[in-house]
Structure 1
Amino acid sequence: MLNAGWTWSFFRAKNPPLAVLEVLALEASTVDLARRTWRLDRNAGIALLPYVAWTTYATALTAELARRNRRG
């Protein structure tokens, strides 16, 4: 849902500030998932690290696009 929410808010609604909030929630959720998974199965936690890196990058990119495209 969070992935779909980002796609909708950024591309469909064309609302970068909303997309920033959405991707922040996605990043927090992904970091929490990796942390909880790491505790249960270290290899599975390691497997999630690229996704954590991707959402971190997506957060920075979305925030920068929102900053550069402020309305008004």
Structure 2
Amino acid sequence: MELLQVNGRINKKKLALSILIPVVGGSITGWIANKNAQEKYKKLKQPSFSPPGAVFPIVWTTLYATMGIAKYRVDQKVKDMRTDTPAIPLYDLQLGLNFLWSFLFFRWGLRGTALVEISLMLASIALTAYEFQKLDNTAGVLMMPYVGWVTFALGLNYSVWKLNK
């Protein structure tokens, strides 16, 4: 429970909202972007390190939940400090880029464009993690698995694009 407490308090409503926005948003985006796209994707050449499809929803749900907790922690710290920070706009930017990537890569088949976009997304995630860490060390740490996974996803995106030019 300490993970969810900020300054000894838990705001359950804000915590739930902070987690639900990326989890539900990512689920809906993934469902819409992947609808009828999986058959095409299965026909593409895959790199040897490509994980089974069942891994992705598990990983993404976990990452969305942890980034939601991180955002909640930062929101609470910023509210208590009454200060301006680029942390929340950066978080919103990276989340928007995250949702867009699924459409670029799966729905529209723009794998090269998706590669450029995921590079920008990774940079915005890293900046978000840095800004989060300045405000709340735990929030910064919670963003690290996301940085790692998107780095892996960038390599996967590059490999699929290169193998299927």
TM-score, normalising length: structure 2: 0.41
1:55 is aligned, of 150, 154, 158, to: 150
RMSD: 0.8
Structure 1 partner of 2:131:
36
Structure with higher helix content: 1
Bigger radius of gyration among the two: 2
Match of 1:26 among 116, 121, 125: 121
- Identity percentage over the alignment? 33
Q: Which runs of 4+ in 1 moved over 2 A?
A: none
Ranges in structure 2 where 5+ consecutive residues have no aligned partner: 1-95
- What residue is the counterpart of 1:67 in the other structure? 162
Distance 1:44 1:28 in 2: 17
Paired AA for residue 107 in structure 2:
R
Shift of residue 56 of structure 1? 0.6
Task: State the Cα distance separating 1:2 from its structure 2 match.
Answer: 0.5
Match in the other structure for 1:5: 100
Distance 2:129 2:99 in 1: 20
TM-score normalised by the chain length of structure 1: 0.91
AA partner of residue 136 (structure 2): D
- 2: distance between equivalents of 1:4 and 1:48? 17
Distance 1:12 1:43 in 2: 35
Q: Secondary structure at the match of 1:14?
A: coil
